[in-house]
Amino acid sequence: MSQYVSRIAGTFVGPPRLRLPGQHRRPRRIAMLSVHTSPLHQPGTGDAGGMNVYIVELAKRLAAIDIEVEIFTRATTGGLDPAVELAPGVLVRHVDAGPYEGLAKEELPAQLCAFTHGVMQAWAGQRPGYYDLVHSHYWLSGHVGWLASERWGVPLVHAMHTMAKVKNAALAEGDRPEPAARVIGETQVVRAADRLIANTDEEAAELVRFYDADPAKAAVVHPGVNLECFCPADGRAAARARLGLPQDAFIPLFAGRIQPLKAPDVLLRAVAVLLERDPSLRGKLVVPIVGGPSGSGLAKPEGLQKLAARLGIADVVRFRPPVGQTRLADWFRAASVLVMPSHSESFGLVAIEAQAAGTPVVAAAVGGLPVAVRDGATGFLVRGHEPAAYARALHEFLDHPELVDRMGAAASRHAQSFGWDTAASATAEVYTAAVHDHRRHGRAHHG
């Protein structure tokens, strides 16, 4: 697995001098910025999702290799401690910026000045040189990081997580495009960052193609998965017993935020196609939808339930609220297959988590999902979003029940290469290269 090298337009590109001599030290303490979603929030609710998991797991693993992490996030309830220890070496700092509740992500740009002020206040109370580097997540944090890195004289490493131009190129029907202000903001952050961390080669190529990023700044680091939590454990039967699911059912699962981008409606329509073709399946199918409305899905929180009723499949669909990681791992184990029909995914962490738990995946062939899922070996990749195409993929498992176990075992093996320890050590190397280059350029400036 090549963490750094991206194949763009047929040539190998990547951050230069990654194999650095011993004297180039790693940063000791970094400021990590996550403006719009707290690492303490439950993934699958509101704006909390894969990025929350990413930040928490990466920070813990960085701390384990002696890089202290302080995560700055917006306070979303009153009375929160200004600083909370998430794990040894990982501190979450709550910054007051705007009203605690009821603030949509689209309204956050107006609070960036207040958030930046809070970050600067925390820094002002420390000795000079307290932070060695800023790592920002998502474009809103990137703007705060841009100013902080310049003020502190340290490098900025930025992770996009999702990109407006990429999302707008693959909009779900009826979904609203990302605003021009975000496109401009992302372009500025891409230009300002010393390093850009991309989840996949495809994402690195998109940074160059859509945002004119310097290819030498783009480092590819695959996200990881918590392999202790997401593992086959005691198997499908035991997980189904714990969740009260029938042992002999065929269970295609959707797990994630309920919004047009994630396309849970495609799964429901595919199930309707299956039942139309073979009504006898009705007694055998259970379709759990585990997650809460988010983003543009908040406009119609009951939309999916109404669709299930309209399609005449409400009796086989089970809506469940978001759950913690341990419970989510059980849902993955219990499922026959995870279905991810997303219109856009920078990586698709859920796909790796399900596979690590021993469950095959049927996913859209978009973004990072072709990296996460090995087509024909650990699941099936589907081109486009036609419900009939997803119904065909699901029918493969119905026609060949042994595929669930065979692909599930291959999926579990495949997921082993996506541990967070690997991701953390790769990220640490990107940090080291950024610090080294920043110092060299600083010396050149002053020389």
Q: Is 228 annotated as a binding residue?
A: no
Is 415 labelled as part of a ligand binding site?
A: no
**Annotation-wise, does 36 bind a ligand?**
yes
SS (H, E, C) 136-186: EEHHHHHHHHHHHHHHHCCCEEEECCCCHHHHHHCCCCCCCCCCHHHHHHH
Q: Is 353 annotated as a binding residue?
A: yes
In this structure, the strands spanning 6-8 and 11-13 are antiparallel
120 is known to lie in a ligand binding site: no
236 is in an annotated binding site: no
**Residue 49 annotated in ligand binding:** yes
Q: What is the DSSP letter of 417?
A: G
Q: What is the DSSP string of 52-90?
A: HHHHHHHHHHHHHTT-EEEEEEE--STT--SEEEEETTE
333 is in an annotated binding site: yes
Confirm whether residue 257 is marked as ligand binding: yes
106 known member of a binding site:
no
Is 421 within any annotated ligand binding site?
no
Is 111 annotated to bind a ligand? Reply is no
130 is in an annotated binding site: no
- Picking from 6, 372, 425, the residue whose alpha carbon sits closest to that of residue 203 is 6
Whether 343 contacts 367, CB under 8 Å: no
52 is in an annotated binding site: yes
431 marked as part of a ligand binding site = no
Residue 323, annotated as binding a ligand: yes
All residues at 6 or more sequence positions from 344 whose CB lies less than 8 Å from its CB, including other chains: 162, 166, 167, 170, 261, 366, 367
How many CB atoms are located within 10 Å of the residue 397 CB?
20
Task: Establish whether 48 is an annotated binding residue.
Answer: yes
Instruction: List residues forming the annotated binding site for 1D-myo-inositol 3-phosphate.
Output: 36, 47-52, 105, 138, 162, 182
Instruction: List residues forming the annotated binding site for Mg(2+).
Output: 332-333, 335, 359
Instruction: List residues forming the annotated binding site.
Output: 36, 42-43, 47-52, 105, 138, 162, 182, 257, 262, 323, 332-333, 335, 345, 353, 359
Instruction: List residues forming the annotated binding site for UDP-N-acetyl-alpha-D-glucosamine.
Output: 42-43, 50, 257, 262, 323, 345, 353
